[in-house]
Amino acid sequence: HGHPDHWQALPQLSRRFAGAWVGAHQADLEMFPPPPPGHRLEPGEEVRFGDCQLRVLHTPGHTPGSVCFLGPGMVFTGDTLFPGGPGATRPPLGDFPTIVRSIRTHLMALDDRTIVYPGHGDSTTIGAERAAFGAWEARAETGS
């Protein structure tokens, strides 16, 4: 997504790994410094990282263009889902009901054994996060 803590090393990495493609969802492109990422990630698109084929899941809420990458038995969630719940949803770009809806639609549909690798910190599983997700949904519905 387009927050600086996820792209600030991009200029150095682009120089070191010339020719590597950089992608982002259209909704976050304006958050990147020039030049913007050259590849626009689309929901459902399959992308390859080394030997791993991953599917793009558009999971707005942390930012409008947040995405997760789904692979066999694992999902890389960026700042969408962490151990203990959703990522931060500070205005003007973040929205709590939207991130909860994204998690419900895309992540809670996964097998409980799916390993979650967030953008920061420790990993977890969908099953571990499912146990507390009802409380997050209730909070999103009541606005508290």
- Model confidence over 8-40: pLDDT tens digits? 788 888 888 888 888 899 998 888 887 778 889
pTM of the model: 0.89
pLDDT at 1 over 80: no
- Rounded to the nearest 5 percent, the helix, strand and coil shares of the chain are 30, 25, 40
Strand (E) or helix (H) holding 16: helix 10-16
Give dist(CA 45, CA 111) in Å, integer.
21
Tokens 């409980």 sit at which residue?
112
Give dist(CA 120, CA 83) in Å, integer.
10
Domains of the chain: 41-142 (3.60.15.10)
- Model confidence over 83-137: pLDDT tens digits? 999 998 988 889 999 999 999 999 999 999 999 999 999 999 999 999 999 999 9
